């Protein structure tokens, strides 16, 4: 992951005359890889955008049973009085605004939300005029390889059509890749309108796999309820990083299955097989 981020941001930093240093690590982390990468992408994007000269560093430090991912920059810094406001959506801090239209706060609000969902503590330390450190504490993990049972399940998805709905493109891509790797035909969309469009076009998926939290305050359960009046729906699995009892109850009361994020591939594929009655 660190090398992927280095490849993505080194050219952008070089365009601005910045030195990006990424310290390689052999550590394995226990987290959702896609959400973790999105957090680091947002932090690096802000660092590149607001650092006018100097360098940016991405690295990892072991902290007992955890690892601390760190993003340092030599930008203008954030005053202590502004550090809480920095995480509010659409909040713009005057010392860090440039000629772009992207508020710093929107990116950091996403970072904070993802960190909370993953239960990874997020820390900000900054000195005006010297730079900023953002760090994320993540549990250490162990290298994992697919078990023979998981590989067997993957092969059993041949011939199934699965429609995935998620408003996060990277999560959607990752889930679709997993299912296609097992032989399934995968349709994708990001919202209820896209789901409706697939069904209106005559698609007949065997399984619906939808995210609970969507854009603009919508949720997967409500999206499915809207469609029920117009289309007979196949079995649906709702996934969510918010594992609150209220979320689970709303999914189960609507007659759907629930799986928490990060989704365990073996549990997901086993549930799909059960719903397909294979």
- Regarding whether 269 and 192 lie in a shared domain, the answer is yes
pLDDT surpassing 90 at residue 112: no
pLDDT digits (tens, 9 = 90+) for 29-56: 998 887 888 889 889 988 998 899 999 9
| pLDDT: which is higher, 81 or 107 | 81
pLDDT surpassing 90 at residue 227: no
pLDDT score for 95: 46
| pLDDT: which is higher, 89 or 2 | 2
Task: Give whole-number Cα distances, 97 to 49, 51, 76, 258, in Å.
Answer: 9, 11, 10, 41
Helical spans, DSSP H, in the chain: 2-15, 33-50, 104-118, 148-155, 169-181, 192-200, 220-228, 245-253, 265-276
pLDDT surpassing 70 at residue 172: yes
Distance CA 212, CA 218 (A): 8
Looking at 107, 139, 171, the residue that finishes a domain is 139
Percent of the chain exceeding pLDDT 90 equals: 37
- Regarding whether 225 and 100 lie in a shared domain, the answer is no
- Regarding whether 223 and 112 lie in a shared domain, the answer is no
Cis before 226? omega within 30: no
pLDDT confidence of 145, banded at 50, 70, 90?
low
Name the domain count of the chain. Answer: 2
- Regarding whether 160 and 86 lie in a shared domain, the answer is no
| pLDDT: which is higher, 28 or 97 | 28
- DSSP letter at 87? G
Per-residue pLDDT, averaged over 6-24, amounts to: 88
- Regarding whether 128 and 190 lie in a shared domain, the answer is no
Distance CA 87, CA 118 (A): 17
pLDDT score for 107: 67
CATH number at residue 169: 3.40.50.2300
In 10 A of CB 276, how many CB atoms?
17
- Regarding whether 131 and 251 lie in a shared domain, the answer is no
Looking at 117, 139, 161, the residue that finishes a domain is 139
In 10 A of CB 2, how many CB atoms?
17
Looking at 111, 139, 167, the residue that finishes a domain is 139
pLDDT confidence of 278, banded at 50, 70, 90?
low
pLDDT surpassing 70 at residue 269: yes
pLDDT confidence of 175, banded at 50, 70, 90?
confident
pLDDT surpassing 50 at residue 240: yes
Nearest to 24 by CA among 47, 54, 49, 57: 57
Per-residue pLDDT, averaged over 116-124, amounts to: 90
Percent of the chain exceeding pLDDT 70 equals: 88
Nearest to 263 by CA among 222, 208, 216, 211: 211
Task: Decide if 178 contacts 134 (C-beta within 8 A).
Answer: no
Query: Would you say the pTM of this structure is higher than 0.75?
Result: no
- Regarding whether 118 and 8 lie in a shared domain, the answer is yes
- Regarding whether 164 and 135 lie in a shared domain, the answer is no
Per-residue pLDDT, averaged over 167-181, amounts to: 82
CATH number at residue 62: 3.30.565.10
Residue 35: which domain range? 2-139
- Regarding whether 135 and 6 lie in a shared domain, the answer is yes
- Regarding whether 60 and 153 lie in a shared domain, the answer is no
- Regarding whether 231 and 116 lie in a shared domain, the answer is no
Which three-class secondary structure state does DSSP give residue 266? helix
- Regarding whether 167 and 126 lie in a shared domain, the answer is no
pLDDT score for 90: 44
């Amino acid at each position: 992951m660190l090398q992927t981020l280095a490849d993505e941001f080194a050219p952008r930093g070089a365009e601005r005359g910045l030195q990006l240093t990424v310290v390689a690590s052999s550590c394995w982390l226990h987290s959702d890889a896609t959400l973790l990468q999105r957090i680091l992408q947002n932090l690096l994007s802000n660092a590149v955008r607001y650092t006018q000269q100097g360098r940016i560093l991405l690295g990892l430090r072991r902290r007992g049973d955890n690892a601390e991912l760190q993003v340092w920059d030599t930008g203008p810094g954030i005053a202590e009085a502004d550090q809480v406001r920095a995480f509010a959506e659409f909040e713009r801090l005057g010392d860090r605004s440039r000629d772009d239209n992207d508020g710093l706060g929107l990116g950091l609000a996403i970072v904070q939300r993802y960190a909370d969902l993953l239960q990874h503590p997020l820390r900000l330390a900054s000195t005006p005029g010297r730079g900023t450190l953002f760090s994320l504490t993540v549990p250490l993990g162990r290298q994992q390889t697919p078990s023979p049972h998981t590989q067997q399940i993957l092969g059993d998805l041949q011939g199934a059509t699965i429609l995935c709905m998620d408003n996060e493109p990277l999560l959607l891509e990752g889930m679709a890749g997993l299912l296609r790797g097992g032989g399934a035909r995968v349709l994708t969309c990001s919202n209820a309108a896209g789901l409706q469009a697939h069904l209106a076009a005559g698609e007949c998926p065997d399984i619906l796999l939808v995210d609970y939290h969507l854009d603009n305050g919508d949720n997967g359960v409500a999206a499915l309820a809207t469609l029920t009046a117009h289309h007979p729906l196949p079995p649906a699995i709702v996934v969510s990083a918010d594992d609150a009892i209220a979320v689970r109850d709303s999914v189960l009361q609507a007659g759907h299955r629930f799986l928490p994020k990060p989704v365990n591939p073996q549990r997901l594929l086993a549930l799909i097989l059960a719903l397909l009655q294979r």
